């Protein structure tokens, strides 16, 4: 029995990399009975039946997983955010950051299209970027298009990690990936052809190596459009709000209408960004207005259940 990580899923087959060798595997039937599906990113134990083939016997516990794309055990996410075209949105950025915090995925914020920003608008964007740095996020913002030194620095963060890219359409995710590895598209095509063994199979998601780490070749995911966390949990997904809340009068302060709220005071003094607090309040109200999904949570509307 060997241990490896799933790097690609193809119509019921799972390509597992183990000791620099790729095995095409299938999952044992008992996984189907337990309604468990292996995911790309899963660490598994498998039995190599023949050269390059085998059966998955066990799936290690996951530290996190996403639905779109179906991916597990993500270490970090590069949030690719355009300065312009499309215009920068703190609301969209904070939606993505909240989702990553909830999934315990470390975010990196990478601003693109800085070379298209006017001189007059640069100071405001620089201030916003500094605000996110003060929260504790790693932020990349330059006024040049994909400077080599910056791209190289980002590439160094991939080592021994599984990284995904996310961001709205047109933000420049694919362009950034191609600057990180100019041969990426050629390598991805070559690997896919080799793994598919000449079959025209639709690939759901795959991982490839960059700088001794794994990167998802499907940049971005869309699950940040839905808030899945509990209402009381939201405040803990804004790091600066979580840190400041210890000084609130009430331990369970939600930072909305409570008196002697340290968070609201910090917003007034500029220690917490106004945009971050405004987005927190908006997300709070959105979650509050959401109808419970009883089937998903295992609840029943019937009285007594």
Domain residue extents for the chain: 2-61, 71-216, 228-290
On the question of pLDDT at 298 being above 60, the answer is no
Contacts 24+ apart (CB under 8 A), 131-137: 131/273, 131/276, 134/240, 135/239, 135/240, 135/276, 136/239, 136/240, 137/97, 137/107, 137/108, 137/109
List Cβ neighbours of 23 (8 Å cut-off, separation of 6 or more).
2, 4, 15, 16, 17, 46, 48, 52, 53, 54
If pLDDT is split at 50, 70 and 90, which confidence band does 185 have? low
From the list 71, 73, 69, 90, the residue with the least C-alpha distance to 81 is: 90
Of residues 225 and 162, the one with the higher pLDDT is 162
Q: Which segment of 27-31, 161-165, 262-266, 301-305 scores lowest on mean pLDDT?
A: 301-305
Band of the pLDDT at 224, cuts 50, 70, 90? low
pLDDT higher than 90, residue 128 = yes
181 has a pLDDT exceeding 70: yes
Provide DSSP, 193-239: HHHHTT-------BEEEETTEEEESS----GGGS--S-GGGGGGGSH
Whether the CB-CB separation of 44 and 38 falls below 8 Å is answered with yes
Mean pLDDT of 222-250: 88
Residue 194 has pLDDT above 80, yes or no: no
From 174-188, 227-241, 249-263, the region with the lowest mean pLDDT: 174-188
Q: Taking 80 as the threshold, does the pLDDT of residue 221 lie above it?
A: no
**What is the mean predicted confidence (pLDDT) over 205-218?**
86
Higher pLDDT, 144 or 66: 144
Name the most confidently modeled range: 13-27, 32-46, 63-77, 135-149: 135-149
CATH architecture of 228-290: Orthogonal Bundle (1.10)
% of residues, the chain, pLDDT over 70: 85
Q: Fold identical between 2-61 and 71-216?
A: no
Report the Cα 107 to chain-centroid distance in Å: 7
Per-residue model confidence (pLDDT) at position 159: 96
State which of 89-98, 181-190, 221-230 shows the largest mean pLDDT. 89-98
The segment with the largest mean pLDDT, out of 14-23, 165-174, 194-203, is 14-23
Structure confidence at residue 304 as a pLDDT band (50, 70, 90) = very low
Q: Is 48 a residue whose pLDDT tops 70?
A: yes
pLDDT exceeds 90 at position 61:
yes
Residue 67: the pLDDT is 80
Tokens (6 digits) for 19? 């000791």
**What is the pTM assigned to this prediction?**
0.86
**Domain 71-216 carries which CATH code?**
3.40.50.300
Q: Tell the CATH topology of 2-61.
A: OB fold (Dihydrolipoamide Acetyltransferase, E2P) (2.40.50)
Kindly state the average pLDDT of the residues 253-263. Answer: 96
């Amino acid at each position: 029995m060997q241990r490896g990580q799933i790097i690609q899923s193809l119509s019921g087959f799972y390509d597992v990399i183990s000791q620099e060798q790729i095995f095409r595997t299938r999952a044992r039937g008992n996984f189907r009975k337990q309604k468990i599906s292996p995911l790309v990113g899963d660490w598994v134990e498998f039995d190599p039946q023949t050269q390059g083939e085998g059966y998955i016997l066990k799936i290690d516990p996951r530290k996190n997983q996403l639905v779109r794309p179906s991916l597990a055990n993500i270490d970090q996410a590069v949030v690719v955010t355009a300065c312009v075209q499309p215009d920068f949105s703190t609301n969209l950025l904070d939606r993505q950051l909240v989702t990553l915090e909830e999934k315990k995925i470390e975010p990196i914020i990478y601003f693109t299209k800085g070379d298209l920003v006017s001189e007059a608008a640069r100071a405001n964007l620089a201030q916003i970027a500094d605000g996110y740095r003060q929260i504790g996020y790693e932020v990349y913002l330059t006024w040049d298009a994909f400077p080599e030194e910056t791209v190289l620095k980002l590439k160094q963060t991939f080592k021994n990690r599984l990284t995904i890219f996310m961001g709205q359409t047109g933000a420049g995710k694919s362009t950034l990936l191609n600057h990180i590895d100019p041969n990426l598209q050629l390598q991805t095509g070559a690997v896919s052809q080799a793994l598919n063994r000449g079959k025209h199979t639709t690939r759901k998601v795959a991982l490839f190596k960059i700088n001794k780490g794994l990167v998802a070749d499907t940049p971005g995911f869309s699950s940040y459009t839905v808030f899945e966390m509990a209402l009381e949990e939201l405040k803990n997904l804004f790091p600066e709000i979580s840190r400041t809340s210890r000084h609130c009068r009430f331990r369970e302060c939600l930072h909305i209408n409570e008196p002697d709220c340290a968070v609201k005071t910090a917003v007034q003094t500029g220690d917490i960004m106004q945009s971050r607090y405004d987005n927190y309040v908006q997300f709070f109200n959105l979650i509050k207005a959401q109808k419970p999904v009883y089937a998903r949570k295992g609840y029943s509307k019937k009285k007594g259940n």
